[in-house]
């Protein structure tokens, strides 16, 4: 089998998801893969038509692919949480995407909103845990709608779940020039979970003497992302803190239009899933205004994950070159075409 | 009784806490209050000496004061969470400080790290809930230290707790020129708690037709704090999201050295407590390097809370004037003296 043969499940999803995914696929073909894409119409439209978010049979079918490319999920016409929980989070959980990998990297030529920072200062990778914590969805409500209502949410953290993502983060840190790993948590308030995370990092650190580790509270880390982003190389953190800090990371690295992510199953017992960090942005959907770059960079991560390192590098370089000569006012298609041309050329 | 007579409990705490509180007290006296301060040596030193963090008798004594001025709490020699939980959070909970009020305001002349923003763009107030959520401290650990460990944290949210802070936020929003209130949460993942918060805001909004409300997820809000801070006027949010977003707010408004806060009991059934947002900063403690401005601005909030509005305004103006002519390299004392001189003069 030619390893450039990719059996790809495509979930464009909602809003701008469809638009950006189309450009991602263009680039995937242009870079020389033999693509066998199958589209799945999961998202708000299907939910309204059939009441289904992710039928079990579809979930099992998806399991057979090499990888999944996802656009974005979520629509104001659907109650908050339904598509997020039953589609996006269900996929992350079912396919054990315990590493949610989110580079925060300022490409040369991209204006950062930070006055004092340049591309050298903003180059980190956030390793966000993807299957536990407050995303477990446990909790409940009692006496809803009365003055005595109580609503709870539970953060579930296991030794198994924390250790595997921490190990992944140490491996990442070891492979980078600075070899630095920062745990971000809130150990002084979330004492049970924080203690598990901190002990795990301390223990695994013994196996990685070449990696420097430190710790920062999530509140201080949010401050440092803005005031001293150069402090960070690899960041490991839980699901919710990782969610927050990677949007902040996107902001300092030139905007959500450029932020890529991979939901990785490192043992490859199920397909990994690649998606832009941004959401479905219903306010600009259908207008050709969305920047597909985040999706195209997610495609580069997908290629890398499948072992197509040269192809991944070509896509990244094409994006970097496009960004360096960035002209404003281009449509979604035009940006996609420009990057595709560089990849093929 | 002269209302300028303030029975003040002072808890300098740890690290730079002692240094900044001394300057705050100087300003309080200079502005013309008749101060009766009583110092409490709570913090790491006492914990090591006696094993006590906050004895019940001291807690009851503190209840009798008009207000509390706190420096900072926390030291690396004490296990994470002990002083935070048993001293700082215990005070917030015992005295029902359900409003944690944190202005995010860029003073003219202060360099913000945001390239595109000016003082006009950054002027908001975060109303952080102070007594519930993940700060409740419930949760636990099982099979600690084994591969089967599980650690949980629970977020507790009540109709009572959410409604009172939401009402406070609406009142604040109504009193400001823009009259805008933004709920920040993560309703698409924390569906039980998010639903309670969103329903409460929607319901109370009916009583405040002049206030515009909107909603932003915590991840998007973190991004917007950096990319479009002018979006925000009054923000209402839960305890943990408020913790994170106010440190981020401090970063965009010129740094943690300027960020003030009040832990408010609006019904005045117990004393409110004022403290800088920054921590004890053990790395620079004892060197006269800490900026006391955040504490002095917290003193202004204290005066305001006690009804001494003219005095509060004088302190704020003195700080604004000092900042506008900011000379670098001043010590903690020098900054305190400079502001004191302006307040008296
Ligand atoms: C849509 C939402 C459930 C999701 C998350 O919180 O993980 C998104 O914000 C993300 O970061 O991928
Ligand atoms: C010290 C810590 C417990 C505290 C908090 O998380 O509330 C601090 O970060 C703050 O913001 O006042």
pLDDT (tens digit per residue) in B244-259: 999 999 999 998 999 9
**pLDDT value, residue B251:** 95
In sequence order, the β-bridge partners of residue B38 are: B9
- The residue in chain B having the minimum alpha-carbon distance to the alpha carbon of residue A256 is B223
Q: Report the nearest-CA residue for atom 1 of ligand 2.
A: B84
Most B CBs within 10 Å, among A140, A149, A201, A291, to test the B interface: A149
Mutate to test the pocket of ligand 2, among A190, A194, A219, A222 (most ligand atoms within 8 A of CB): A219
Contacts of A259 in chain B (CB under 8 A): none
Between CA B331 and CA B294 the distance in angstroms is 14
Spatial CA neighbour of A100 closest among A299, A267, A296, A237: A237
Domains of chain A, earliest start first: 1-97+265-344 (3.40.718.10), 101-255 (3.40.718.10)
Instruction: Check residue B150 and report its DSSP letter.
Output: E
Average pLDDT rounded to a whole number, residues B187-212: 97
pLDDT (tens digit per residue) in B296-322: 999 999 999 999 999 999 999 999 999
Q: Report the nearest-CA residue for atom 3 of ligand 2.
A: B84
pTM above 0.95, yes or no: yes
Residue B28's contacts (CB-CB under 8 Å, 6 or more residues apart) are B6, B8, B35, B69, B299, B302, B303
Contacts of A153 in chain B (CB under 8 A): 154-155, 157, 190, 192-193
Per-residue confidence band for B2, with pLDDT thresholds at 50, 70 and 90: low
Per-residue confidence band for B81, with pLDDT thresholds at 50, 70 and 90: confident
User: Is residue A6 within 8 Å of residue A67, measured between CB atoms?
Assistant: yes
E strand residue ranges, B92-147 = 99-105, 123-129, 139-142
Spatial CA neighbour of A291 closest among A24, A37, A100, A104: A24
Catalytic annotation on B34? no
Q: What distance in Å separates residue B332's CA from the closest CA in chain A?
A: 21
Kindly provide the b/e burial profile for residues A108-146, where b requires at least 16 CB atoms within 10 angstroms of the residue's own CB: eebebbbeebeeebbbbbbbbbbbbbbbbbebebeeeee
Per-residue confidence band for B220, with pLDDT thresholds at 50, 70 and 90: very high
The pLDDT tens digits along chain A (345 residues) read 466 799 999 999 999 999 999 999 999 999 999 998 999 999 999 999 999 999 999 999 999 999 999 999 999 999 988 999 999 999 999 999 999 999 999 999 888 888 888 888 999 999 999 999 999 999 999 999 999 999 999 999 999 999 999 999 999 999 999 999 999 999 999 999 999 999 999 999 999 999 999 999 999 999 999 999 999 999 999 999 999 999 999 999 998 999 999 999 999 999 999 999 999 999 999 999 999 999 999 999 999 999 999 999 999 999 999 999 888 899 999 999 999 999 997
Distance B117 CA to ligand 1 centre (A): 28
Task: Find the catalytic residue in B65, B98, B135, B168.
Answer: B135
When CB atoms are compared, the residue of A155, A157, A191 closest to B80 is: A191
3-state SS class at B184: strand
Residue entry with tokens 């900011």: B326
Between CA B24 and CA B8 the distance in angstroms is 12
Contacts of B244 in chain A (CB under 8 A): 218-219, 222, 244
Catalytic annotation on A243? yes
Task: Find the catalytic residue in A186, A238, A304, A322.
Answer: A186
**pLDDT value, residue A135:** 98
Distance B247 CA to ligand 2 centre (A): 10
Mean pLDDT is lowest, of A59-63, B1-5, B17-21, B324-328, for: B1-5
When CB atoms are compared, the residue of B81, B157, B196 closest to A189 is: B81
Distance A243 CA to ligand 1 centre (A): 6
**pLDDT value, residue A1:** 46
A53 in B contact zone (CB under 8 Å):
no
Q: What is the mean pLDDT of chain B?
A: 96
């Amino acid at each position: 089998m030619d390893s450039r043969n990719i059996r790809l499940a495509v979930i464009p999803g909602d809003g701008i998801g469809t638009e950006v995914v189309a450009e991602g696929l263009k680039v995937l073909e242009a870079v020389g893969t033999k693509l066998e894409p199958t589209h799945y119409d999961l998202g708000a439209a299907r939910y309204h038509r059939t009441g289904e978010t992710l039928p079990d049979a579809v979930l099992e079918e998806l399991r057979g692919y090499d990888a999944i490319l996802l656009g974005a999920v979520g629509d104001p016409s659907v109650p908050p949480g339904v598509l997020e929980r039953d589609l996006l989070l269900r996929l992350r959980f079912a396919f054990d995407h315990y590493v949610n990998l989110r580079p925060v990297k300022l490409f040369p030529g991209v204006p950062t909103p930070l006055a004092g920072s340049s591309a050298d200062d903003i180059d980190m990778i956030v390793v966000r845990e993807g299957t536990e914590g407050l995303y477990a969805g446990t909790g409940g409500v009692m006496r809803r709608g009365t003055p005595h209502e109580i609503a709870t949410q539970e953060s579930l953290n296991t030794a198994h779940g924390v250790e595997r993502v921490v190990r992944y983060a140490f491996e990442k840190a070891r492979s980078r020039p600075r070899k630095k790993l920062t745990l971000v948590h809130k150990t002084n308030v979330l004492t049970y979970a924080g203690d598990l995370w901190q002990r795990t990092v301390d223990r695994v650190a013994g196996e990685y003497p070449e990696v420097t580790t430190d710790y920062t509270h999530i509140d201080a880390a949010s401050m440092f992302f803005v005031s001293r982003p150069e402090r960070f190389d690899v960041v490991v953190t839980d699901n919710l803190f990782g969610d927050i800090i990677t949007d902040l990371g996107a902001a300092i690295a030139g905007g959500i239009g450029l932020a890529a992510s991979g939901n990785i199953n490192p043992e490859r017992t199920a397909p990994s899933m690649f998606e832009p960090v941004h959401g479905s942005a219903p306010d600009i959907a259908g207008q050709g205004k969305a920047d597909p770059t985040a999706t195209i960079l997610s495609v580069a991560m997908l290629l890398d994950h499948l072992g197509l390192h040269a192809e991944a590098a070509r896509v990244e370089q094409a994006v970097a070159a496009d960004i360096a000569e960035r002209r404003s006012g281009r449509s979604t298609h035009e940006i996609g075409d420009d990057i595709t041309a560089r990849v093929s050329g």
